Amino acid sequence: MKKRITILGMAAILLMPKFSIAGEGIFKPFKIIASLGYLIPKNIEYKYPLDFQLEPKFAISDNFWLGLRLESAIMVQRSIFEDDYKALGVFSIVPFFDYSLVASEKFRPFIGIGYGTYTSHLFFDGPDMTSTSTSITKTGFCPRIGFEYKTFNISFEHNFVKGGVEYSAIKVGLTIGGGLKRARD
């Protein structure tokens, strides 16, 4: 146990020069990412799986970002005869921690992890026009990997929701803010 604490302490000391509050960085400390995504549900056959996400982020440093992902995912399943369907909506609120490698001022690969709530709402409409719906809220976590190029953003993430709907997502988005700071004279 002492050995682990020592190793973590040494790592923290080595990373401290790079870890500063956003005032000294080359990037602006606040940005919002808006993205659209294609979902790949696990063990559920849904068609038309789409995703929309807004995520405000704040820079702790040029490498470390804290964000709050607000995501709506929609999946629809139709029967063979197309007289009934199921629609599943998942709304998630997930705080995220991202590490961004500043490869250049334009290209920044990143990895991140988040943990938050996922609310699933299932709506079923049968052939006799009767409809039912159920809603459930679970917690889950989500690792992700991706890159930013200028204001363009691509990411891949997988949402692990215990007892809920598990899915992967491929997302493409735009970044508003968070660009380079202007040089001071």
Architecture of domain 22-177: Beta Barrel (2.40)
**What pLDDT does 5 receive?**
54
Q: Residue 49 and residue 167: Cα distance in Å, rounded? A: 10
Residues 160-175 have pLDDT tens digits of: 998 878 899 999 999 9
Please give the residue that has the higher pLDDT: either 149 or 81. Answer: 149
Provide the Cα torsion 63, 64, 66, 71; round to 10°. 50
pLDDT of 96 above 50: yes
Residues 171 and 154 sit within 8 Å (Cβ to Cβ): yes
Residues 49 and 41 sit within 8 Å (Cβ to Cβ): yes
Residues 29-87 have pLDDT tens digits of: 889 999 999 998 887 777 778 999 999 999 888 889 999 999 999 988 776 666 677 78
The contacts of residue 12 (CB under 8 Å, 6+ apart) are none
Helix (H) or strand (E) holding 6: helix 2-15
Q: Whole-number mean pLDDT of the chain?
A: 82
For tokens 């709402």, the residue is 121
- Expressed in angstroms, the distance from the first to the final Cα of the chain is 50
pLDDT band at 185 (very low <50, low <70, confident <90, very high): very low
| Domain residue ranges in the chain | 22-177
